[in-house]
Structure 1
């Protein structure tokens, strides 16, 4: 009896999905990574309208109020941290040591792929002429540096330079679409690549001062949030 009831419930839950799927019609969507984006320029006139500006003002006000509340709470976070779920200091220290390595691999993979293909940060940003060779080589070098953790801070400066070089080469809008790489550059410049890196073993003098580390995560958040 229970099996029959469960089967009827599953069938009832699946029926709306099947009906909607059968009634669905093809949809045309614009995805910048797979289509030419010349027909979709950056429209500041659409942004500078009352409704978008109202949303920006509302979000800014909410952020300010949240910051004031955070200070009033003694700088305690609103979301429970790992310690609330049983993580001790040793486990958290180990995880925080792994974060730069994890992020380094995460950033290195798209840089390596796009560098080999002659595109800047994403497949839709094709570099013109010989720039595809020069900047593609630079992307590959930065990717390897972040992957292995060698010469990380110079690579972070180079990554920021690639972002700014992309503005005249592929346009402001494509770079704003990939502004997270500017945040990643700031993160690695401020925090380095962590203990699991070539820098820690061979080039410790190139690592950033410890006092910079507290600024690394906010810098990455700003970059990722801006994207």
Structure 2
């Protein structure tokens, strides 16, 4: 928990003022985003996308989180193909957000809090390049912010090991199969959800307790 607070202080961010099976306490994505609403997109890989999705869905200003794949060479890969580690893809979440309520820098804080960015090509027991820590930037501004805060995080001493988060240009996002979407909300009683996702989610919610969706 100390590392999360160090990270929050380092980035100097204050987020905008902002289970069980079928957990009704989980925030829901917007089914339809109004066409006249200004939105932006961010793409992050922090290990298993079920975990990252469940955490980022909590935040005010996040409109939609989709689990999928990015960074590889195989078009329209299946989950089974990505699990071989031979597609080059990482498991990622594509986040659509309202920039008037949450900024990209604030999402970076949440992303780095959601996983261990010093683990190379793994998160816990999930091992392989598909579980790498990665930011796929959509424009030059995102690239600059990601590089800047990664350097600051490294210099902060929050971690004993180097921050290995990859920062690469976004090329394509392939949405994962339907059963991967809203995974924790729909499968909260499954062992992986109870013993892996839930502890991460509870820690995340404590760090961002004042900035969660109602």
Tell me if TM exceeds 0.5: no
Pick the TM interval, shorter chain.
Answer: under 0.3
More helix by share: 1
Q: Which has the larger radius of gyration?
A: 1
Bigger share in strand:
2
**TM-score normalised by length of structure 2:** 0.23
Taking CA–CA contacts closer than 8 Å with sequence separation of 6 or more, which of the two structures ends up with the larger relative contact order? 2
